[in-house]
């Protein structure tokens, strides 16, 4: 999985650097792309095949998170500068660059504190099993694509929890204190159904609006409005996945003005209407 929004058939000048790097690397190693899909949420998935018996894979600053899983073969595939370390079915590689906002909610850490461990040919049976299920989905079918998106998010959460490490070069100057960050995170979570203002959040953090806006972004990785919007969509996804609440009630519990406003925002973020999402995830 590649955490960028690329389309491989686009001209190189239009393709984000991260995908250019990965595609160039694999193509240079005599691999060819069999399938590709853009999943939304800055996620993409692809299946590559390489028939050569021996090969060395060289990544130069992939520019984004890349998780690869060998579905078959790979026994004589080495990574540069790691002689004797070979691939095999179900073995995984994680090549990190930047981190996601999952750090705040899932690990109670600032995104700038963490990165993913650069791991080559490690084993994780649960992640490997989920990767296999991703391949078995029909990515051209809207329902299958949404199920793939959901599974990809589960894989990323597992990867974060098992491979997240503290950055040795992390600079935490200019951000919120741990206590203030937690107060804001919890306050936003418990008040998503309401209209939230910068002044209100500044009061929770005991800061001026000016300082909160600057320090919030440093600690959460997003401005307050963008973080709140993200949390509303995530709550909506959970409610659509786990309940049969009418859309109007989902919209109310997530802080949207009405069902129409909710549907518009959800479609913009996820790529499909809430009703389609709910059908795809089986509720």
Expressed as residue numbers, the domain containing 182 is 178-280
Q: Across the strands, what pairs with 197?
A: none
Got the DSSP string for 106-170?
HHSS-GGGEEE--EEEEE-HHHHHHHHHHHHS-TTSHHHHHHHHHHHHHHHHHHHHHHEEE-TT-
Q: Which residues contact 98 (CB under 8 A, 6 or more apart)?
A: 64, 65, 115
Q: How many domains does the chain have?
A: 2
Residues whose CB falls within 8 Å of the CB of residue 252, separated by 6 or more in sequence, listed in order: 193
- 135 with 21, same domain: the answer is yes
Give the per-residue pLDDT at 33: 84
Q: Which residues contact 51 (CB under 8 A, 6 or more apart)?
A: 30
Residue 6 lies in a domain: no
Round to whole Å and give the CA distance between 67 and 1: 5
Please tell me whether residues 31 and 147 are part of one structural domain: yes
- Tokens 């997003």 belong to 222
On whether residue 5 sits in a domain, the answer given is: no
What distance in Å separates the CA atoms of residue 7 and residue 4, rounded to the nearest whole number? 9
Domain boundary among 120, 139, 166: 166
Residues 156 and 188 in one domain: no
Place of tokens 């800061």: 207
CATH code at 211? Answer: 1.10.10.60
78 shares a domain with 155: yes
Low-confidence ranges of the chain (pLDDT < 50): 1-17, 59, 62-63, 82, 84, 97-98
Residue 81 pLDDT: 52
Q: What is the pLDDT of residues 229-273, one digit of tens each?
A: 999 999 999 999 999 999 999 999 999 999 999 999 999 888 889
Q: Which residues of 66-80 are buried (b: 16+ CB within 10 A; e: fewer)?
A: bbbbbeeebeebbbe
- What contacts 134, CB < 8 A, 6 or more positions away? 1, 45, 148, 151, 152, 155
Residue 141 lies inside a defined structural domain of this protein: yes
In a shared domain, residues 124 and 20 = yes
Give residue 1's pLDDT: 45
What pTM was computed for the model? 0.60
- Containing 92, the helix (H) or strand (E) segment is strand 91-95
Give CA angle at 133 (130, 139), nearest 5°: 125
76 and 29 Cβ atoms separated by less than 8 Å: no
User: What is the structure's pLDDT at 212?
Assistant: 93
Query: Do 161 and 254 have their domain in common?
Result: no
Phi, psi of 122 (to 5 degrees): -95, 165
């Amino acid at each position: 999985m590649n955490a960028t929004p690329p389309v491989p058939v686009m001209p190189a000048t239009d393709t984000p650097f991260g995908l250019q790097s990965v595609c160039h690397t694999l193509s240079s190693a005599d691999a060819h792309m069999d399938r590709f899909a853009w999943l939304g949420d800055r996620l993409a998935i692809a299946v590559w095949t390489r028939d050569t018996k021996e090969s060395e894979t060289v990544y130069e600053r992939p520019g984004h998170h890349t998780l690869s899983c060998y579905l078959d073969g790979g026994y004589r595939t080495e990574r540069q500068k790691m002689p004797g370390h070979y691939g095999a079915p179900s073995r995984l590689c994680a090549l990190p660059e930047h981190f996601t906002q999952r750090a705040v909610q899932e690990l109670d850490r600032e995104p700038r504190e963490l990165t993913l461990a650069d791991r080559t040919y490690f084993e994780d049976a649960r992640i490997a099993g989920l990767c296999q299920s991703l391949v078995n989905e029909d990515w051209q079918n809207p329902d299958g694509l949404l199920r793939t998106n959901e599974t990809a998010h589960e894989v990323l959460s597992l990867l974060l929890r098992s491979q997240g490490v503290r950055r040795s070069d992390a600079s935490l100057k200019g951000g919120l204190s741990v206590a203030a960050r937690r107060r804001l995170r919890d306050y936003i979570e418990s008040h998503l159904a309401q209209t939230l203002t910068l002044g209100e959040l500044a009061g929770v953090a005991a800061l001026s609006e000016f300082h909160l806006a600057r320090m919030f972004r440093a600690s959460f990785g997003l401005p307050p409005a963008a973080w709140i919007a993200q949390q509303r969509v995530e709550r909506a996804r959970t409610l659509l996945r786990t309940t049969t609440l009418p859309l109007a009630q989902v919209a109310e519990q997530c802080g949207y003005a009405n069902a129409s406003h909710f549907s518009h925002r959800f479609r913009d973020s996820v790529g499909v209407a809430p009703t389609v999402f709910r059908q795809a995830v089986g509720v």
